Structure 1
Amino acid sequence: MNEVEVIRAAALDGVRHGFLGRRGGVSGGIHAGLNVGLGSADDAATVAENRALASAAVAPGARLLTLYQVHSADAVTVLQPFDEQVRPHADALVTDRPGLAIGILTADCAPVLLADTQAGVVGAAHAGWKGALGGVTDTTIAAMEAIGARRERIVAAIGPCIARASYEVDDGFRDRFLASDRENERFFADARAGHARFDLEGYVAHRLAAAGIARIEALGLDTYADPSRFFSYRRATHAGEPDYGRQIAIIALG
């Protein structure tokens, strides 16, 4: 078993945080590495061990909390731990409580970690295309403000996600974004007939900036193109694999 790789963002320096991939961990086969997906077909005990390894690598001693993610724009404020079996159906978590580590699972979608260190408030958002378009980063920021953060102080980092070069979509997909805002055209590059390539990371950064976040760090790491380092739903689908692993992004106070 290799050591868990923790990728950190300079924007969040001084805050316990990390974007993790598949390096380290105890899963085998198509889930090989640090698969933390409770909804995957991997062995439940193995996933639990991986989650413990992930939490210990980022926030030793903290209680890790994650969601039942549904590609929504819903954010949950966490004031006390909850049982994994009753995870809220939502796509973002915020907290001001030391000792709680909040985590978001991804396998191509964009994980976003946010912090207002002066207020002692952190957030984590799962921004797939649907949640990003629906405003999951906006609701996360609003939830952080509701417990004392101020958006002019919030810094954000966007972790490993599928890059534009790897993300081909059809014209119907592009039309959804253009219907929301014609200026979203800039996040698409023409591909084969009837298709385009979508810049998810760029779009999420744009939404954060439009919401008033002044410091945004995009790590520029493509989950699809680096199979030794990251899980990817789209890569697994293209390979005809029956399931896929999930990686985690974690942030905690204290």
Structure 2
Amino acid sequence: MIERHSTTSGARFAFTDRWGGASAAPYDTLNLGGAVGDDPATVRHNRELTAKALGLDPAGVRWMNQVHGREVAIADGDTGPGDGPPAADGVVTARRGLALAVLTADCAPVLLADPVAGVAGAAHAGRPGLLAGVVPATVTAMRALGAEPGRIVARTGPTVCGRCYEVPAEMRREAERLVPGSGATTRRGTPAIDIPAGVREQLAACGVTDVALSPVCTLESPDHFSYRREGTTGRLAAYVWVDA
């Protein structure tokens, strides 16, 4: 199943769950991650199914080789047969109709669009990327392409919530120091990090105020992949583009 969001001005957002694909356990069934041990042909099939369901050209979706950093790539043209996805955790484009994708299985997919400028961005915000600043780096890259923070629409997808993401106390202190508002407490009263809250605070500091956070916690939801719950598992995908 694909959850879709759109704006009247042409910004498009989509988030997948784990169902409707062809992957076998433990990747069942709509695994869209190509580096988790699943059959490559099946992953390609799943990506084609998803793209076509969204009305996109499967060959035109821009993916990243995500490395838990803050590098941001620019997708500005057609790729050649030997071109692989860039090693980055953020990608931006000023090409209307070009879809950007981010893979997650507990990390936060952060989708951004300025439909007036025709600029889109996607960021992979796990704990390392959040603390490294991949979200503000992606907004900065979008601004360089003509986007204005006050016009940017931001949506996050399913991610582990702050009530479930337990971490050592020192890690929470470091997160709160680097990204105020990201320190949290689990339901059991133990230290935690709230990635979506940290993303929201970073976006606000960048001047982005039209922000909606997904209510879905991947660790709690059996309909979504969760690395913390399952270890070996598939990957969800989130897509963003601006209508041509």
TM-score by length of 1: 0.88
Q: Is the 8 A contact 2:94 2:145 kept in 1?
A: yes
Which residue in the other structure is 1:217 paired with? 212
CA distance change for structure 1 residues 10 and 217 in 2, over 3 Å: closer, same or farther?
A: farther
* Selected match of 2:123 from 117, 122, 125: 125
Deviations 1:116-167 (A, max 9, x none): 0000111111000111111111111111111111111111001100012221
The SS at the match of 1:49 is: helix
Query: Does residue 1:46 correspond to 2:42, yes or no?
Result: yes
Which residue in the other structure is 1:135 paired with? 133
The SS at the match of 2:99 is: strand
Which has the larger displacement, 82-91 or 116-125?
82-91
Superposition pairs of residues 84-233 of structure 1, within 5 angstroms: 86-180=84-178, 183-184=180-181, 187-189=183-185, 195-227=190-222, 229-233=223-227
Query: Does residue 1:75 correspond to 2:69, yes or no?
Result: no
What is the CA distance between 1:202 and its match in structure 2? 1.0
Q: Is the 8 A contact 2:109 2:158 kept in 1?
A: yes
Unaligned runs of 5+ in 1: 238-242
The SS at the match of 2:34 is: coil
Unaligned runs of 5+ in 2: none
The amino acid that maps onto 1:217 is A
Deviations 1:36-78 (A, max 9, x none): 1110111010000011112122242361110100011111111
What is the CA distance between 1:8 and its match in structure 2? 2.6
Distance (whole Å) between structure 1 residues aligned to residue 83 and residue 147 of structure 2: 30
Deviations 1:177-205 (A, max 9, x none): 23326x44x63126768x41221111111
Which residue in the other structure is 1:240 paired with? none
Distance (whole Å) between structure 2 residues aligned to residue 233 and residue 29 of structure 1: 14
The amino acid that maps onto 2:87 is H
Question: What RMSD over aligned residues (CA atoms) do the two structures have, in Å?
Answer: 2.0
Query: Does residue 1:249 correspond to 2:238, yes or no?
Result: yes
The SS at the match of 2:174 is: helix
Of all paired residues, the percent bearing the same amino acid is 37
Aligned length in residues: 241
